[in-house]
Chain A
């Protein structure tokens, strides 16, 4: 291994600009003659818009324009779309209600976008927005997913009972049969709490229209600028793709929330033409992020697990109500279906599974993919019910898992997925050793002496990443293919530019992608640059989410590098007057087998551009290759996380005292970066389990957790230092053997924490977040019951 190649802990190339304050985030960019947008938002959860009264502005108001749904309709700008079709059990297509970029006649959640004010300054835009008088007619509303189907609120005309779809997966008959043979059945009702993503950089956009060329540019905080361009072009109908440039510069975290095409960004670029081409800038205030970013999770589930007398799982049944919010966001429909129910087999050989998912509208912000997207929800169901079953059957939870692990690969689950490689015993055993599982009883006793309740919990998660084989997702309803593209430009001096459709917003692609190039071409990592995030520079790409940038994005780069190597060999053969078959390439040097003739990579690059020494009728000059890679299967990262907690009986405060994570991500390109992804993921999962929860007031429909005053972000003191290790089984479906690591922590952590907390308290279940108040209530109830 070279010190900058695959497997090396290379320090990040992108860090210099971030630690010196020179990053360029969207809000850091200012364009000439820029104006500012502020959105008028609905104060009601559900209402008709009776009228919008716009005052007569004076010059000192600085108002440049005010636009409403009427203007959107006038310009025939299409609504926001959901790009994944789901069919109900009865074969009917999902009921997608219209989602205009500015409300047309009706608002459906607090924060819904009603109108936009464009003004000379931020302050003027905000002040003017406050003076726009919207008259609303309040309608009945519902914010609770479990109550949506029976609510008096009728959110979309197309969706009776507020039901988007009633979908199922698996074999009901086989599963019922399995349950009829069961020795023991464990039942569990659980809620996967709704979360608000909270990337630290709020969303922002600058839209501009160039009158001279009838061309639009949008700077935006996006994880996938090409997809944004495609949707704005094809569905909003703003301009054809070659007349629209989308740039996603440095982006301050996404976690899924910046995948989606939102109204505000589209409005900025559309309205710029309305005001004659002056750029329009919008930066969300954090309050707006809370109200109007797509939220995550929001599942209400009943699950049942059937076992034989030895504790072998016979079958799993699961019914889930998934809250979708007031509109279907870009990928909302695939999250509680194909990203969720397909993972309900977990790491276990479960012969029969049947899952039903009812997706419902509520008068809340749209819900879509958030770090893990469906897979944390699946893991939570599986790992909570497996833990509960083990306790009920009085089998050690580690042993219960061992008995049920998938042991041979490939393994076909009853819910679509074919697991291609893994070793679940290996990660469990390693984790048990690092966590000193055998010493737990002693630690629990020691804690009891201090008046603390100590508990331990496992999460043996599996996820499907490397999203995704295009034909497979197409057959399941996806509106797009999920391949990735790459272009390798070798410059005449031998430096290399990689253009990728992946997008880095914290993942460190500028480093890991360069490591791959350094490894393959034997060039200095500092001579490699990564270009992403600009549709005018990079060929089409699908962006970054679903832990796909390594397994899919880097494989595309690897394929293009293969082509570069092949062509360079041809050039080298001509220059060194040897047969192409005799050319060897190693450590950045081309040599002729059996001779001392050799050329450095840079020399061959120069020769390719100079083009003096090979027949250009056979070999084109230059050294630039591109590749599109479509994966043949999902990848299946898996691992074992063990959490140990101590609970203060008096206050209900839970402290995480130990965390062990053993993950199998296949090949790891940069362990330092991978560990960082795991740390961050775990902490987000801990946030879900212990601190975070989105709360809407059922009576008013208002968002109660609308700022950091009430929405509790995990802080440094809420988590410990983590003990991390890896096992490795190579992923067989890509040449690098990579599986992906970006979501693992967030997928594993909630179940690990809640298994530990319920173990400490001796209760079956507890709602997340297990805040001190919630834990105290459980302790108090136990105490009352005892007295």
Chain B
């Protein structure tokens, strides 16, 4: 991979400053996506600003909400007792990202800031109605993911934490791409404490999306049968050698039903 200037700031302000100064800078958290991308020559930033020096990791789980700091690795979310109790769906999602070694290095902040269309966390952020805290503001989960690999973050803005309201019940079911193990389709279904229901789908489209028809049906009756006949449109869904848009659309329904049945 091409060389770059390496920065490891210990304060968010310094990180932002380094980014401003860089010609083509990139923030790096776990580096699980960025480094392979650079190795393959698909990205050649002039500057890497390693956010590891911010030491911004840890989870606080309370009755009403779970706050995951941006630098928390997936393994820590997956194994956190508080998360497992408050939002088992979130712990389960984290436990299925990549593989055990990736989970020891990849972080929630890195994952959502990168917004890979096949990443798992976007389904949690949208599906659980989370709020993203950044170095500058709070962004509602629904507004955070703006397009494929694009987010509402400004170029020097850094995710600092994600705040998940504890739902009444929720579950995440993933169908991994057989080769890469990214989500070919992943569905988070959650019934929130206010009685509203969210169904968020990752992997199937260019970015995470909700399925209002399913949400409405589930709000009326939270059971798998309620959504048995609701298919998302195949048009516009991702297509590759592993899955056609039609297959992905079909899987959205299957996984959503399984998630409803598994929700707790």
Interface presence of A127 (CB below 8 A):
yes
Distance to closest chain A CB from B106 (angstroms): 16
Give chain A's interface residues, CB within 8 Å of chain B.
123, 127, 130, 287, 650-652, 691, 695, 704-705, 707-713, 771-773, 776-777, 780
Q: Is B222 among interface residues, defined by CB-CB distance under 8 A?
A: no
User: Given A650-B254, A704-B241, A773-B247: A691 and B2 within 8 A (CB)?
Assistant: no
**Smallest Cβ-Cβ distance to A693: which chain B residue:** B241
| CA distance in complex: A705, B250 (Å) | 24
Which listed residue (A650, A651, A652, A708) contacts B179, Cβ 8 A?
A708
A777, B254: Cβ atoms closer than 8 Å? no
B244 contacts the other chain (Cβ, under 8 Å)? yes
* B179→A709 contact, CB < 8 A: yes
User: A651-B254, A709-B179 are known contacts; what are 7 more A-B pairs with Cβ within 8 Å?
Assistant: A695-B241, A712-B178, A712-B179, A771-B242, A772-B175, A773-B244, A780-B246
CA distance A694 to B254 in the complex (A): 29
Shortest beta-carbon distance, B173 to chain A, in Å? 10
Give B96 Cβ to nearest chain A Cβ, in Å: 12
> A773 and B242: CB pair below 8 A?
yes
How many residues from B make CB contacts under 8 Å with A?
19
Q: How close is A700's CB to chain B, nearest CB, in angstroms? A: 14
A-B contact list, 5 entries, CB within 8 Å: A123-B1, A651-B175, A695-B241, A705-B179, A713-B179
In the complex, the answer to whether B179 meets A710 with C-beta atoms within 8 Å is: yes
Q: Are A710 and B241 in contact (CB under 8 A)?
A: yes
Q: Which residues of B contact A708 (CB under 8 A)?
A: 179-180
Q: Residues of A contacting B243 with CB < 8 Å?
A: 773
B233-257 interface (Cβ within 8 A of A) = 240-244, 246-247, 250-251, 254
Chain A residues with CB below 8 A from B247, complex form? 652, 773, 776-777
Question: What's the dominant secondary structure at chain B's contact region?
Answer: loop
By a CB distance below 8 angstroms, the chain A residues around B178 are 691, 712, 771-772
Closest residue on chain A to residue B181 by CB atoms: A715
CA distance A704 to B247 in the complex (A): 20
**Chain B residue nearest to A712 in the complex (CB):** B179
Residues of A within 8 A of B5 (CB): none
Binding site for A on B (CB under 8 A): 1-3, 40-41, 175, 178-180, 240-244, 246-247, 250-251, 254
B250 touches A776 (CB 8 A): yes
Report chain A residues within 8 Å CB of B240.
710
CB-CB nearest in chain A for B257: A650
State the CA gap A130–B250 with chains docked (Å): 43
Residues from chain A with a CB closer than 8 A to the CB of B3 are 123
CA of A650 to CA of B2, assembled, Å: 45
Closest to A776 in B: B247
Distance to closest chain A CB from B5 (angstroms): 16
Which of chain A's residues have a CB closer than 8 A to the CB of B246? 780
A73 to B114, CA, bound (A): 49
- CA of A162 to CA of B2, assembled, Å: 41
10 nearest CB pairs, A to B: A712-B179, A709-B180, A712-B178, A650-B254, A773-B243, A773-B247, A710-B179, A695-B241, A776-B247, A691-B178
Cβ-defined partner of B40 (8 Å) among A287, A652, A712, A771:
A287
Name which residue of chain A comes closest to B185, CB basis. A651
Chain B residue nearest in CB terms to A769: B178
| Residues in A whose Cβ lies below 8 Å from that of B40 | 287, 707
